[in-house]
Amino acid sequence: MSEITVELPKSEPASRSFIGRVRDSDLLASFLSSKVTVVAGVLTLIFFLAAVLAPLIAPTNPFDPASNFLIDSLNPPRFVAGGDARFLLGTDDQGRDLWSAILYGLRVSLLIGVFGVLLGGAIGITLGLIAGYAGGRIDSIIMRIADVQLTFPAILIALLVDGVVQALLKGQNREETAFGILVVSIGLSFWVQYARTVRGSTLVEKNRDYVQAARLIGLSPARILARHILPNVMGPVLVIATINLALAIITEATLSFLGVGLPPTQPSLGTLIRIGQNFLFSGEWWIVTFPSITLAALVLAVNLLGDWLRDALNPRLK
Amino acid sequence: MIAFIIRRLFASIGVLIAVGLIAFLLFRYVGDPVNQMVGIETPESERVALRQQLGLNDPTIVQAFRFLAHAARLDFGISYQFKQPVSELIGARMPATLELAFVASIMSLVTGIPMGVYTALRRKSALAKLFEALSLVGISLPTFLIGILLIYLFSVTLGWLPSFGRGDVVHIGSWWTTGLLTASGLKSIIMPAITLALFQMTLIMRLVRAEMLEVLRADYIRFARARGLSERKVHFRHALKNTLVPVITVVGLQLGSIVAFSIITETVFSWPGMGQLFLQSVQNVDIPIMAAYLLFIAFLFVIINLVVDLLYAAVDPRLRVAIHGA
């Protein structure tokens, strides 16, 4: 095979700045036209900022055992009778400041969610592109696997992967491996949707003229897939990714709640809720309440954004 | 029709064998089965004997076949943590889970379909808006949070309902136990069932609403109106009937996921079902139980899928014709 390199002219002069294009786009107009969406967007932004800036905002580091004292344990929130002024939202059984723990927990939950979605997306998009472009046996093998996996709810797959990876990494320190295990479990349980969508779009795109042209000038399949087809199938992927972020956050929280996620020494929101649940009957309601509200608000905001994005990018609804 | 059923049957068996092979790989290669079964001080000679006895020295293909053959007879070996046959352990806990899943699906159907129809027909009404807002909250609230909320409300604050367990159970036949015939059993199932049903309900509601809106735009609805049929007849005889086909599929397929989601509900409410057993087996790397549970869910899914396909043919006359023609 001879490599023919052709210098293609740049298709579109980059005359308009990115900000200008965003300002004039339909997307922004439709974003601003829905109050609920704006609120959800602002809320999501706040959550992300709080997660990134957690070390700066939080009064104490809840992961650092030296900064927590058992004597401070089970303090009610500041605004309740008997509350300690140092602890805005009270403390848990370890004497951890709940406000700090929530900020750090948010950080962990979002990090795992984002990485899980990225991993799932990477696997799904790659397999979808390959399946759609190659067709034939490769396509049917990949899609069969996807079908069988769809048999099982994501949470079950995540639990299974979690269990298997833990068994394989036996003897390793759980605190070091938990993060990676969760990302892998979430990534492996959420790739199917990307693969199916991307495969469908690829099947359509691969017969278009520009792909034929790219093939004609001798580009390798990998290059055609990555540089030519991929940008044209990304629209639906974005919607799936947003909705999956909410699902990934829920999955992480659920696994941590079930006790196979993050250990109590580096709690995510799910771990905090798991800890708090034990104190439901003894009257320490704040330990479970505040992390729960944070988690619910976070997932709701991301879900609303995903809903909006899906409708905004769907030409049939215009 | 028969050719269709046979084709579906073969596809189902294929799925089961694939899942069975995954289960076998788990069983054989995640951790050493022999190490899991013996104590630390078991001498090497006994280990070798056990290895031989379990057939772990045979070629992989032979082992895989043996595993599948045993699985087909519901023999999944001995649980590592309980030292009891897996099929007995799962069998003892199956009624609790299936009962919970059954009650939850009925609940979600009985509430979800009317809510979906209502929100589609009266899109602008305040109640419809409320339902939709609720459905979004229902999808956003993780299952375990709903459970905790219910416990806080009805057990801690009001003290009306028990927060854990199944209550008193009655034996039916040799192995089935039911809590649906005793007062405490009925009281115990309310909160877990609601927790499990809520997500399904929102799903069904959203689906029925979307399908209904789609169908109401179709030409035959316009014709039905033009023929002077009452709105009631148009909505329920023509529109609703046609939305039910996709609803059947989703509801059917969700039944499998209800059983799987009950892992979470069972943990929150200490419900003595299979989900709890599975979670314990994940925590303790009890591979035989994990493998058996995996196969059980796959089996359930395959059966449901088959039934859904047959129901399709029963509900939609077009499919019957297509099948006969094929």
Closest alpha carbon within chain B to A247: B140
Overall average pLDDT of the B246-262 stretch: 78
d(CA A304, CA A192): 22
Q: Which residues of chain B form beta strands (DSSP E)?
A: 170-172, 176-178
For residue A118, the model assigns a pLDDT of 94
CA dihedral B320, B321, B324, B326 (to 10 degrees): -110
Contact assignment for A303 to B267 by CB distance below 8 Å: no
Maximum mean pLDDT: which of A208-212, B44-48, B74-78: A208-212
Confidence category of residue A114, pLDDT binned at 50, 70, 90: very high
Contact assignment for B19 to A148 by CB distance below 8 Å: yes
d(CA A63, CA B26): 35
Residues of A in contact with B15 (CB under 8 A): 147-148, 151
Confidence category of residue A117, pLDDT binned at 50, 70, 90: very high
Residues of A in contact with B301 (CB under 8 A): 151-152
- Nearest Cβ partner of A148 from B18, B26, B163? B18
| Chain B residues bordering chain A (beta-carbon distance below 8 Å) | 15, 18-19, 26, 30-31, 136-137, 139-145, 148-149, 151-152, 156, 163, 256-257, 260-261, 263-264, 267-268, 278-279, 281-283, 285, 287, 290, 294, 297-298, 301-302
What pLDDT digit, counting tens, does each position of A61-91 carry?
A: 777 766 666 666 666 776 666 666 666 667 7
d(CA A314, CA A236): 9
d(CA B64, CA B22): 10
Per the model's pLDDT, the better-predicted residue between A243 and A115 turns out to be A115
The 3-state DSSP class for residue B193 equals helix
What pLDDT digit, counting tens, does each position of B121-140 carry?
A: 888 888 888 888 888 777 77
State how far residue A299 is from chain B, nearest Cα, in angstroms. 6
Say if residues B261 and A155 touch (Cβ distance below 8 Å).
Answer: yes
Those residues whose C-beta lies under 8 Å from the C-beta of residue B208, and which sit 6 or more positions away, are B112, B113, B115, B116, B117, B120, B243, B247
Residues of B in contact with A155 (CB under 8 A): 260-261, 263-264
State how far residue B293 is from chain A, nearest Cα, in angstroms. 10
For residue A74, the model assigns a pLDDT of 64
For residue A168, the model assigns a pLDDT of 77
- One DSSP character per residue, A172-218 reads S-HHHHHHHHHHHHHHHHSHHHHHHHHHHHHHHHTTSHHHHHHHHTT
Tally of residues, chain A: 318
Confidence category of residue B319, pLDDT binned at 50, 70, 90: low
d(CA B25, CA A164): 11
Closest alpha carbon within chain B to A144: B15
User: From the CB of residue B317, how many other CB atoms can be counted at a distance below 10 Å?
Assistant: 9
Contact assignment for A281 to B148 by CB distance below 8 Å: no
d(CA A243, CA B177): 40
The yes-or-no verdict on residue A164 having pLDDT over 90 is: no
Contact assignment for B256 to A273 by CB distance below 8 Å: no
Token pair recorded at residue B258: 């209800």
Q: Name beta bridge partners: B41.
A: none
d(CA A90, CA A99): 7
Closest alpha carbon within chain B to A166: B285
Contact assignment for A151 to B279 by CB distance below 8 Å: no
Contact assignment for A151 to B263 by CB distance below 8 Å: no
For residue A82, the model assigns a pLDDT of 66
Residues of A in contact with B18 (CB under 8 A): 144, 148
Per the model's pLDDT, the better-predicted residue between B248 and B208 turns out to be B208
Residues of A in contact with B287 (CB under 8 A): 167
Q: Name beta bridge partners: B78.
A: B85
Token pair recorded at residue B196: 């499990």
**Which 8-state DSSP code applies to residue B228?**
T
Give the least confident one: A37-41, A189-193, B52-56. Answer: B52-56
User: From the CB of residue B177, how many other CB atoms can be counted at a distance below 10 Å?
Assistant: 18
Residues of B in contact with A281 (CB under 8 A): 156, 163
- One DSSP character per residue, B124-181 reads TSHHHHHHHHHHHHHHHS-HHHHHHHHIIIIIIIS--S-SSS--S-EEETTTEEESTT
Contact assignment for B156 to A250 by CB distance below 8 Å: no
Say if residues A61 and A55 touch (Cβ distance below 8 Å).
Answer: yes
For residue A14, the model assigns a pLDDT of 47
The yes-or-no verdict on residue B315 having pLDDT over 70 is: no
Contact assignment for A155 to B294 by CB distance below 8 Å: no
- Nearest Cβ partner of A155 from B18, B137, B261? B261
Contact assignment for B145 to A273 by CB distance below 8 Å: yes
d(CA A110, CA A246): 10
Token pair recorded at residue B132: 């939709």
Contact assignment for B260 to A304 by CB distance below 8 Å: no
- Nearest Cβ partner of A296 from B141, B163, B256? B141
Contact assignment for B26 to A296 by CB distance below 8 Å: no
Phi, psi of B275 (to 5 degrees): -60, -45
Q: Name beta bridge partners: A91.
A: A97
Per the model's pLDDT, the better-predicted residue between B4 and A165 turns out to be A165
Average model confidence (pLDDT) for chain B?
80
d(CA A279, CA A232): 51
Closest alpha carbon within chain A to B148: A277
Q: Name beta bridge partners: B172.
A: B176
State how far residue A300 is from chain B, nearest Cα, in angstroms. 5
Give the least confident one: A285-294, B225-234, B315-324. Answer: B315-324
Average model confidence (pLDDT) for chain A?
79
- Nearest Cβ partner of A292 from B18, B148, B283? B148
For residue A65, the model assigns a pLDDT of 66
Confidence category of residue A115, pLDDT binned at 50, 70, 90: very high
Burial (CB count within 10 angstroms: exposed 0-12, middle 13-18, buried 19+), residue A106: buried
C-alpha A129 chain-centroid distance? 21
Residue with token string 């390798």: A220
Token pair recorded at residue B32: 């050493």
Provide the sign of the torsion angle of the four alpha carbons B77, B82, B88, B91, taken in this order.
negative
Say if residues A111 and A117 touch (Cβ distance below 8 Å).
Answer: no
Q: Name beta bridge partners: B85.
A: B78
Closest alpha carbon within chain B to A291: B145
d(CA A60, CA A273): 19
What pLDDT digit, counting tens, does each position of B62-113 carry?
A: 777 787 877 777 777 777 777 788 888 888 888 888 888 889 988 988 998 8
Contact assignment for A304 to B281 by CB distance below 8 Å: no
Confidence category of residue A2, pLDDT binned at 50, 70, 90: very low
- One DSSP character per residue, B34-65 reads HHHHS-TT--HHHHHHHHHHHTTTS-HHHHHH
Question: Which among B199, B142, B144, B198 is positioned nearest to A300, based on CA atoms?
Answer: B142
For residue A70, the model assigns a pLDDT of 64
Residues of B in contact with A153 (CB under 8 A): 256-257, 260-261
The yes-or-no verdict on residue A101 having pLDDT over 50 is: yes
Residue of B36, B145, B278 to mutate when probing chain A, most A C-beta within 10 A: B145
The yes-or-no verdict on residue B281 having pLDDT over 80 is: yes
- Nearest Cβ partner of B257 from A153, A168, A258? A153
State how far residue B283 is from chain A, nearest Cα, in angstroms. 7
d(CA A89, CA B197): 32
| Residue A288 φ/ψ region, left for φ over 0, alpha for ψ in the -120 to 50 degree band, beta for the rest | alpha
For residue B325, the model assigns a pLDDT of 45
Overall average pLDDT of the B230-259 stretch: 77
Residues of A in contact with B163 (CB under 8 A): 281
Residues of B in contact with A310 (CB under 8 A): none
Question: Which among A86, A80, A51, A57 is positioned nearest to A269, based on CA atoms?
Answer: A51
Confidence category of residue B270, pLDDT binned at 50, 70, 90: confident
Contact assignment for B144 to A254 by CB distance below 8 Å: yes
Residues of A in contact with B31 (CB under 8 A): 167, 170
Residue with token string 């639990």: A159
ipTM of the prediction: 0.78
The yes-or-no verdict on residue A145 having pLDDT over 80 is: yes
For residue A119, the model assigns a pLDDT of 94
d(CA A48, CA B291): 39
State how far residue A243 is from chain B, nearest Cα, in angstroms. 11
d(CA A51, CA A301): 15
For residue A10, the model assigns a pLDDT of 46
Those residues whose C-beta lies under 8 Å from the C-beta of residue A180, and which sit 6 or more positions away, are none
Confidence category of residue A116, pLDDT binned at 50, 70, 90: very high
**Which 8-state DSSP code applies to residue A227?**
I
d(CA A105, CA A86): 19
Per the model's pLDDT, the better-predicted residue between B32 and B125 turns out to be B125
For residue B217, the model assigns a pLDDT of 80
Confidence category of residue A308, pLDDT binned at 50, 70, 90: confident
The yes-or-no verdict on residue A194 having pLDDT over 50 is: yes
d(CA B17, CA B233): 47
